[in-house]
């Protein structure tokens, strides 16, 4: 039996439904990237945050920072002043270093925040920053540039990242079936940066530099510190190997939540300052202002003269009637005028009452009287004047006036 076209479409639809139902058993992965230390979703940082207690049990506590570093870190054993400004130098030398961790979608510090963080590192502390977006001036001051390539998503468990372990001084490979981020750094060979981790192409995505007695570690992919990555197979070693090159014990550990959700200072906020901060927006604003200036200058002159007010045309129908009347009055052709008056009236009767003018006079009078409501005597007098004009051919002024009066009475009394 041959399968018709409709049967083929139904068979194809059923097949697609069965294939779709077969894939419904796969687990749904929350794609939201929060990087919040309390989130246990795939792209939260709950494991990285809580594992610090295991890696550094000597630390007195792990503090959550929700304010700007420019305001200082309350409760820290090391203040934010330079060593030269501190009078009690022997006390600070005996203290353990501190660890400051920033895991954020963007790291855009102000000038004051950059200075305070660098001062914190120069006092012998360690700063770890993992972010997708960095402030260009901050990277330029450290001799680093970041390259933003297009991220891709792969379902295959492909090894894309490598990290050098401090113990074996060899690179270990890591991978996970999540979002792959190819962002990486370019560093100056003479700037003192040490490459710790790379992406699959070999470009560095994790670098570290010693600044005085402290260190700065930069990472271009904070997704490698999320629950999804660190809890996949043996990837938890990535976080421990990254921290193993730093101090083995800390007095305090600071986990930054300020740059993840930066607070805007409404007193110092300026909409124009936002435009001036980014070169593309700044030049776009300059271009718009320039074009508006040209438009304003070109519209200052009037394009055309003032249009004068035109008076509406007068109704010349009355003048036309007077002119025609004078013409007939001068020629004294009453007969032609009477014939035209009769013709116009008969055409009016034909159009309004649908009565033909070639009927016998008595029949014409009877039908017109019934339809118009005019007395038969008036109609008989009117048609009698028409007949006299046609028979005699000559029309006096009195005859013409009498016929005109009868026509006017007809129009007045008709319905």
Average pLDDT over residues 33-60: 89
Tell me the range of 220-224, 303-307, 315-319 where mean pLDDT is highest.
220-224
Question: How would you class 32 by CB atoms within 10 Å of its CB: exposed for 0-12, middle for 13-18, buried for 19 or more?
Answer: exposed
Buried b (16+ CB within 10 A) or exposed e, 170-196: eebebbbebbbbbbbbebeeeeebebb
Radius of gyration of the chain from its Cα atoms, rounded to whole angstroms: 51
Instruction: Evaluate whether 222 touches 132 at the Cβ level (below 8 Å).
Output: yes
Residue-wise pLDDT for 93-123, tens only, equals 457 888 999 999 999 998 889 999 999 999 9
Distance in angstroms (rounded) separating the CA atoms of residues 284 and 28: 42
> Which two structure tokens, joined as six digits, stand for 158?
């492909």
Distance in angstroms (rounded) separating the CA atoms of residues 264 and 261: 9
Q: What is the pTM of this model?
A: 0.55
Buried b (16+ CB within 10 A) or exposed e, 65-96: beebbeeebeebebebeeeeeeeeeeeeeeeb
Average pLDDT over residues 381-397: 84
User: What three-state secondary structure class fits 109?
Assistant: coil
- Please say if the pLDDT value at position 129 is more than 80: yes
Average pLDDT over residues 344-355: 89
Average pLDDT over residues 191-196: 86
Please tell me the predicted confidence (pLDDT) of residue 387.
86
Point out the least confidently predicted range of 326-340, 343-357, 376-390, 400-414. Answer: 326-340
Residues 6+ apart with CB under 8 A from 341: 403, 404, 407
**Phi, psi (5° rounding) for residue 218?**
-115, 135
Beta bridge partners of 174: 161
Residue of higher predicted confidence among 344 and 166: 344
Distance in angstroms (rounded) separating the CA atoms of residues 125 and 213: 7
Residue-wise pLDDT for 157-167, tens only, equals 565 778 877 65
Q: Measure the CA dihedral 107/111/115/121, to 10°.
A: 10
Distance in angstroms (rounded) separating the CA atoms of residues 116 and 212: 15
> Which two structure tokens, joined as six digits, stand for 326?
């004078």
Supply the DSSP string of 33-52, one letter for each residue.
----TT--STT--HHHHHTH
Residue of higher predicted confidence among 16 and 318: 318
SS3 per residue for 181-233: CCCEEEECCCCCCEEEEEECCCCEEEEEEEECCEEEEEECCHHHHCHHHHCCC
The DSSP code for 267 is T
- Please say if the pLDDT value at position 309 is more than 90: no
Average pLDDT over residues 335-340: 84
Average pLDDT over residues 249-273: 74
Residues 6+ apart with CB under 8 A from 102: 127, 128, 129, 130, 131, 256, 259
Residue-wise pLDDT for 169-189, tens only, equals 678 888 888 888 888 899 877
In the chain, where the domains are located: 29-78+94-263, 267-295, 317-413
16 band by pLDDT with thresholds 50, 70 and 90:
low
- Please say if the pLDDT value at position 18 is more than 60: no
Distance in angstroms (rounded) separating the CA atoms of residues 163 and 241: 8
Average pLDDT over residues 60-78: 71
Beta bridge partners of 42: none
Residue reference for tokens 């009016």: 348
CA nearest to 215, candidates 244, 185, 188? 244
Percent of the chain with pLDDT over 70: 80
Instruction: Evaluate whether 228 touches 239 at the Cβ level (below 8 Å).
Output: no
**CATH annotation of 29-78+94-263:** 3.40.50
Instruction: Evaluate whether 164 touches 197 at the Cβ level (below 8 Å).
Output: yes
Beta bridge partners of 217: 128, 208
- Please say if the pLDDT value at position 263 is more than 80: no
- Please say if the pLDDT value at position 76 is more than 70: no
Residue of higher predicted confidence among 8 and 131: 131
Name the average pLDDT for the chain: 80
Distance in angstroms (rounded) separating the CA atoms of residues 328 and 28: 102
- Please say if the pLDDT value at position 2 is more than 70: no
Please tell me the predicted confidence (pLDDT) of residue 170.
77
Strands 204-211 and 194-199: antiparallel
């Amino acid at each position: 039996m041959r399968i018709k076209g409709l049967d083929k479409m139904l068979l194809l639809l059923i097949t697609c439904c069965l294939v779709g139902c077969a894939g419904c058993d796969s687990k749904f992965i929350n794609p939201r990237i929060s990087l919040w230390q309390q989130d246990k979703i795939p792209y939260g940082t709950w494991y990285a945050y809580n594992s610090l207690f295991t890696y550094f049990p000597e630390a007195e506590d792990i503090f959550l920072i929700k304010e700007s570093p420019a305001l200082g870190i309350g409760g820290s054993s090391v203040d934010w002043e330079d060593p030269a400004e501190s009078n009690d130098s022997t006390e600070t030398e005996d203290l353990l270093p501190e660890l400051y961790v920033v895991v954020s979608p963007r790291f855009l510090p102000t000038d004051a925040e950059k200075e305070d963080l660098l001062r914190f590192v120069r006092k012998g502390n360690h700063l770890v920053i993992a972010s997708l977006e960095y402030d260009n001036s901050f990277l330029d001051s450290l001799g680093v540039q970041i390259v933003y390539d297009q991220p891709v998503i792969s379902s295959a468990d492909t090894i894309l990242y490598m990290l050098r372990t401090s113990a074996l001084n060899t690179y270990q490979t890591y991978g996970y079936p999540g979002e792959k981020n190819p962002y990486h750094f370019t560093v100056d060979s003479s700037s003192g940066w040490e490459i710790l981790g790379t992406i699959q192409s070999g470009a560095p995505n994790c670098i570290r530099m010693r600044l005085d007695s402290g260190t700065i570690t930069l990472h271009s992919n904070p997704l490698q510190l999320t629950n999804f990555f660190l809890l996949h197979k043996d990837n938890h070693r990535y976080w421990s190997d990254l921290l193993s090159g730093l101090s083995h014990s800390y007095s305090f550990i600071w986990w930054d939540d300020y740059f993840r959700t930066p607070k805007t200072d409404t007193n110092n906020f300026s909409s124009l300052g936002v435009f001036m901060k980014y070169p593309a927006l700044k030049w776009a604003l300059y271009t718009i202002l320039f074009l508006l200036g040209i438009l304003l200058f070109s519209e200052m002159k009037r394009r055309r003269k003032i249009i004068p007010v035109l008076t509406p045309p007068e109704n010349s129908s009355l003048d036309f009637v007077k002119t025609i009347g004078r013409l007939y009055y001068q020629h004294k052709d009453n007969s032609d005028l009477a014939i035209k008056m009769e013709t116009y009236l008969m055409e009016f009767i034909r159009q309004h009452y649908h009565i033909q003018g070639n009927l016998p006079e008595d029949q014409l009078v009877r039908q017109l009287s019934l339809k118009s409501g005019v007395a038969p005597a008036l109609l008989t007098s009117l048609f009698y004047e028409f007949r006299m004009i046609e028979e005699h051919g000559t029309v006096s002024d009195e005859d013409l006036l009498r016929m005109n009066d009868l026509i006017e009475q007809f129009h007045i009394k008709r319905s």
